[in-house]
A and B are shown apart, each in its own frame.
Chain A
Amino acid sequence: MRRSCLTLAAALGASSAAPVQAHPHIFVEAEVAVIFAEDGRPEGIEIRWLYDEFFSMLLVSDMGLDPDFTGEISEEEREALDGFDMNWIEDYHGDTHVTQNGSPVALSGPVEWTSDYREGQLRSSHVRHFPDPPDPAQEFIVAIYDPTYFTAYTLVGQPELRGRSDCTARIFEPDWDAAEEQLNAALDELLGAGEDVEANFPEVGEMFSDEVRLICNAP
């Protein structure tokens, strides 16, 4: 279940003494839709996750579903899936990060969730509202990443914009050169620092993420 892998992710990442994951073990394809209210302000985001088959198989098997490992489940089993990845523990923040002018934009907890398992892949969707919506006339950024890098997210498809047609959304691929530069700088620092064991290993999750940059026409 999501909650269990979230417990783990939190134990790995949130606890300050935990090591940063060297490589991810969960691969998720993410889709994003931005929902605008009637007054034109962004109301919330819908996020869809499609899990890789290996981790899906493990989670479904953890839940005691699909005991024959066919990759498909019955309708009753589908009901048992409900909210499988929506019971977020305290230290897990959902891996969706919205910022405007470099400051984080607050998001509600997940609501209106769905879940499914077909052709060996778990999928789910949820909506998160903006308690204090960002100004749509200024660029705001939606990034999907796990800071601990236990899960590797990939943004797929063009972001859907619901309720407004005068906005643009651009997907930014990870900037590998910048990421490499940052890693090298961090490495130099580490070497130069000698015995500075307090130096933080870089949180590669953010550097290697895709992000959507959105901006709408001013009213």
Chain B
Amino acid sequence: MQRALTSLGLVLLVLVAVLWLAGSFTALTDWALATQRGLQNQMAQGLRALRAGEPGALAALWGLCFAYGFVHAVGPGHGKFLLGAYGAGVPVPLGRLIGIALVAALMQGVTAIALVYGGVLLFDASREALQLTGEVWLERASLIAIALVGLWLMSRATRRMIRQSVAAPALATGHGHTDACGECGHRHGPNPEEVRSLRGWRDAALLVGAIAIRPCTGALFVLILTWRMGLVWQGVVAVLIMALGTAAVTVAVATAAVLGREGALARLDGMARLRVIMPVIELLAGLLVVVLALNMLKIS
């Protein structure tokens, strides 16, 4: 029992760390702000140099964009807390969550590209209209999608808990297999291998989608300016590189979350309580995602 409790504590610690990352970190925010301020000026100089055809300007701009993406991702953000909470609460393999973080960041860049070029070419949209779309409407859509992912995690965990409490004696034989519910996993007994089993591509698609809906404002700025400068492909590549900078941070968060959870669960290997604790953790992770997403939506 003691070990179970300490392990649960460890997982909670990871969850709090994720919260921390998603929210405060004052010293880090301070540093990120000062760096953002500097990068903001360098970005303009880099664009101007590229427009003027100075040698080496393109590589310099792309480097700046990577740094810009990285530094902006250090601040609080919707993608990191979703990935962090999911990684801490759901038995997802490390490699898969890293892949999800990477693809989500790149898709976020693609959203910015689609918004700017779709908006400009199809609707002749102004910069304000594009920015409003990205920062208000798509932001809300993303947060609502994230809250829904949280609810989905909670409902899945709840159903699992109910099923376990109903079928508890039968689990001794190692079979509680249900497929009528349409869930993606197999509901065998609680051996660690099973606990670490894949959750299918549906989860991955949900996570990527919820994160990628909302484009980064900095990416919109770069795309609008490079379009006006006639530097279309250079701007598109710059935004994808910016997305890689963002991914460097979100991948780190995903890794920390998964390693934290696995470290905690390794202490529980083979224990019967695992099957009781896992859904609880997943439920908490889902709750955290819902609460944070709704808070960021600032519903009043």
Contact = CB atoms under 8 A, between A and B. Distances in A.
A2 B75 CA distance: 25
Interface in A9-26: 11-12, 16-20, 22-25
A4 B129 CA distance: 9
A9 to B, nearest CB: 10
A69 B135 contact: no
Contacts of B78: 22
A167 interface: no
Contact of A195 (B51, B72, B225, B291): B291
Contact of A120 (B48, B126, B298): B48
Contacts of B72: 23
A56 B296 contact: no
Given A19-B296, A27-B36, A152-B37, A69 B128 contact: no
A52 B33 CA distance: 13
A200 interface: yes
A91 to B, nearest CB: 14
- Main DSSP-derived SS at the B contact region: helix
Given A53-B45, A183-B23, A197-B291, A19 B298 contact: yes
B300 A22 contact: no
Interface in B15-54: 19-20, 23-24, 26-27, 30, 32-33, 36-37, 40-41, 43-45, 47-48, 51-52
B299 A197 contact: yes
B44 A17 contact: no
Interface in B114-135: 126-128, 131-132, 135
A80 interface: no
A176 B299 contact: no
Given A52-B37, A54-B44, A17 B291 contact: no
Contact of B40 (A12, A55, A183, A199): A55
A218 B225 CA distance: 54
Nearest to A184: B24
Contacts of B30: 176
Interface of A: 4-5, 7-8, 11-12, 16-20, 22-25, 27, 52-58, 61-62, 68-71, 120, 152, 154, 176, 179-180, 183-184, 187, 190-191, 194-195, 197-201
